[in-house]
Amino acid sequence: MPTDLDNMVKVFSRPKSLTDVRSTYCPGCQHGILTRIIGQTIDELEIAERTVIIAPVGCSVFAYLWYRCDAVQVAHGRASAVATGIKRADPKLIVLSYQGDGDFASIGTAESIHAANRGENITVIFVNNQVYGMTGGEMAPTSLVGQKTTTTPGGRDAALFGYPIRFSEMIAQLDAPVYVTRQALYDTKRIIDTTKAIKKAFTNQVEGKGYSLVEVLSTCPTNWHMKPVEASKHIADVVTKVYPLGDLVDRG
């Protein structure tokens, strides 16, 4: 039986599927938490040897350096399309499409929707930090009304730019996806919930059930001009009112 010490070692040691390369994420960015959760899940399911990670342009662009798995860097917005091609070419592979909100819900809108509508047997993690994080902090389709960005210095005006797109709700209206959920990382409970969701999404693919989407609300302290603790509180108090947490579809 595992001892308390065994459990502590598991929690605090680096997952085997992660390398020791230092990430390029900004201090306080929650992409790093997700990176570890994914590595931990790959280890638990023992799928590292057949996992392929798709890293498009964005904050996760160097993900191929951080995992002891095969990986492909793709053009901005095309991750779901490339994931589809790889999975169809070799259905035994476990394919993860790791995408930001500017990538998944803007530049890659067509690829994202149609991969979901076809029910491709892939796992998509959609990181929603309400801004283009890597390219300068511009407004994204997910930016909140009133949110100040480099392209909306006076705040997002719905009359000019429309309202935030709840992309997971759009995907959830389709018949094919087996699992669509929105989670967050601003406290321990939410990290645990996100970990369970990501494991379920991978398990669905391992069992051949079909398309799974995990949206994760994440902070961007650098472009929000907030301290990390303040940014986490902003997610809990403000962002979740626009993007409610929880499962939207679970047909698994």
Please write down the HEC assignment for all residues of the chain: CCCHHHHHHHHHCCCCCECCCCCCCCCCCCHHHHHHHHHHHHHHHCCHHHEEEEEECCCCCCHHHCECCEEEEECCCCHHHHHHHHHHHCCCCEEEEEEEHHHHHHHCHHHHHHHHHHCCCCEEEEEECCCECCCCCECCCCCCCCCCCCCCCCCCCHHHHCCCCCHHHHHHCCCCCCEEEEEECCCHHHHHHHHHHHHHHHHHHHCCCCCEEEEEECCCHHHHCCCHHHHHHHHHHHHHHHCCCEEEEECC
* Interior angle at CA 152, CA 78 and CA 225, nearest 5: 90
Each of the 252 residues of the chain gets a pLDDT tens digit; together they read 655 545 544 556 899 999 999 888 999 999 999 999 999 999 999 999 999 999 998 888 888 899 999 999 999 999 999 999 999 999 999 999 999 999 999 999 999 999 999 999 999 999 999 999 888 889 999 999 999 999 999 999 999 999 999 999 999 999 999 999 999 999 999 999 999 999 999 999 999 999 999 999 999 999 999 999 999 999 999 999 999 999 999 998
Fold of 22-250: Rossmann fold (3.40.50)
Task: State the amino acid at position 217 in one-letter form.
Answer: L
C-alpha to C-alpha distance for 248 and 238, rounded to whole angstroms: 20
* Interior angle at CA 43, CA 221 and CA 56, nearest 5: 45
